[in-house]
Amino acid sequence: MGYCTLEQVLLSIKTLNKMAHKGIWALAITVFTAGLLLVRADIITEAPVGQLFVYELHREVFQSEFEPFHKVFGQVFNDPMVFKCNKERFPDLPRWLRFTQRDAYDNAFLYGTPLPRDQGRNIIEIFVINKRNYETFKERLVINVGPAVKQMPYQAEFFIERREIEKVLPAAVQAEIKLDMQKLWRTSRLEFVNISSALERGGRVPLPLPGHFEGVYVKLGSDQPFSQCMLRLETAEHQRDCASGQKITGDCSNCENPINCITWCKSTLFDLSRPVPPAPVPTVGSGVLAWGGEFNPPESPPDRDFFPDYIVTVIVPLVLVLILCLILSYIMCCRREGVLKRNAKTPDLQLYHHHTIQGDANELRRMAGGDRRTADRPRQCLQPLLMAEQAMAES
């Protein structure tokens, strides 16, 4: 057996320590890399105050999050998906943000216009449910609401009758509408302020038939004043024509796509460049109520005789009930025919039949159940009566 020197022992300990440090670092790097691959980064977007914010949730983006992806046994799936959105640690969305999805095969939209009091960070949790296999996926959307970027003192709201809210929110459709409004406003410096459905304004739900739409209100703003054509909306002649239902002569709107045409009578201008007059300051009084004199309570009401009311409400119904009871008792007791009177009016032959029904029935049962050779001969039940009638006829 050989012995190791002290130098060999120290060298072996240093070698083991180096290997242990390398293994720890390798494990840490592996865990960090796996964390980067598994943890998805939040989606961060900006929303300035006073401008329309629209975020579209594309189904094809989330399709890859579910297994199987695109192909299972050679079959291509178009899975229906349902989106559920809420503010983090809250059951609902922020008050300025709205959500819509028409069908499980359509994309969903988050849209709204933040106000100055809504500035800050909004974390939205997006839950995606695959309706084919009921798998779920979670995403986080961070919306940073900042101060207003553009000042838009001139704003106008238009009503598009042949549109629905889901068909107006896509960016391509917004570009078409903005192009038509630029021709009407005669400026290219336009921005969307708000888009809302007519159902949110008290409109009726359309019939589920082709050619029926819910309608959409579109609000745009600019730093350029209104055109002369748009100023006709504030004239008394225009309001009179709209109220009478006649053909509008001052309609100068232009739409490349017919379904984007606006309803001229439902258009409204908002001029925020004019200073708003402050509310009148309430007048401050002395704080002492004026003297109104001594309080004179009303006198006691006069005495009232309740005996006529008692007769009408109690005595008269009791008398009527008593009369009805007497009439019913007379009909039930005094108007009865009686057994003797009934028998006197009934022919003897019918009475004889009535009294012999039970005996005849027993006789038939006995004949049917016994032997025909030992059974008694049937009695002639009418023979005594016939003999009596013949005797009366001979006499």
Residue 139: band (very low, low, confident or very high) from pLDDT cuts 50, 70, 90: very high
Specify the higher pLDDT residue, 72 or 205. Answer: 205
* Rounded distance between C-alpha atoms, residue 384 and residue 326, angstroms: 48
Question: For the whole model, what pTM was predicted?
Answer: 0.60
- Sign, CA torsion 328/334/337/338: positive
* % of the chain beyond a pLDDT of 90: 42
Residue 250: band (very low, low, confident or very high) from pLDDT cuts 50, 70, 90: low
* Rounded distance between C-alpha atoms, residue 76 and residue 65, angstroms: 15
Highest mean pLDDT: which range of 237-241, 339-343, 385-389: 237-241
Residue 260: DSSP 8-state: G
186 Cβ contact list (under 8 Å, min separation 6): 227
Which of 150, 151, 145 minimizes the C-alpha distance to 117?
145
Q: pLDDT tens digit string along 90-122?
A: 999 999 999 999 999 999 999 999 999 999 999
pLDDT of residue 1: 40
167-188: b (≥16 Cβ within 10 Å) or e: ebbeeebbebbbbbbebbbebe
The answer to whether 269 and 230 are in contact (CB under 8 A) is: yes
Average pLDDT, the chain: 81
Phi, psi of 157 (to 5 degrees): -115, 130
272-281: b (≥16 Cβ within 10 Å) or e: eeeeeeeeee
The tokens describing 311, both together, are 């007769």
Specify the higher pLDDT residue, 304 or 65. Answer: 304
Which domains are seen in the chain, by residue range? 43-146 (2.60.40.10), 154-271 (no CATH)
* Rounded distance between C-alpha atoms, residue 130 and residue 105, angstroms: 11
Residue 293: band (very low, low, confident or very high) from pLDDT cuts 50, 70, 90: confident
pLDDT of residue 148: 93
Residue 223: band (very low, low, confident or very high) from pLDDT cuts 50, 70, 90: very high
Q: pLDDT tens digit string along 168-213?
A: 999 999 999 999 999 999 999 999 999 999 998 888 888 888 888 9
Query: Does residue 16 register a pLDDT over 50?
Result: no
Residue 383: band (very low, low, confident or very high) from pLDDT cuts 50, 70, 90: low
SS3 (DSSP) at 69: coil
| Mean pLDDT value of segment 261-286 | 86
* CA separation, residue 259 to residues 160, 162, 167, 242, 322 (Å): 8, 5, 11, 21, 79
Residue 22: band (very low, low, confident or very high) from pLDDT cuts 50, 70, 90: low
Query: Does residue 37 register a pLDDT over 80?
Result: no
Residue 9: band (very low, low, confident or very high) from pLDDT cuts 50, 70, 90: very low
Query: Does residue 53 register a pLDDT over 90?
Result: yes
Q: pLDDT tens digit string along 305-328?
A: 889 999 999 999 999 999 999 999
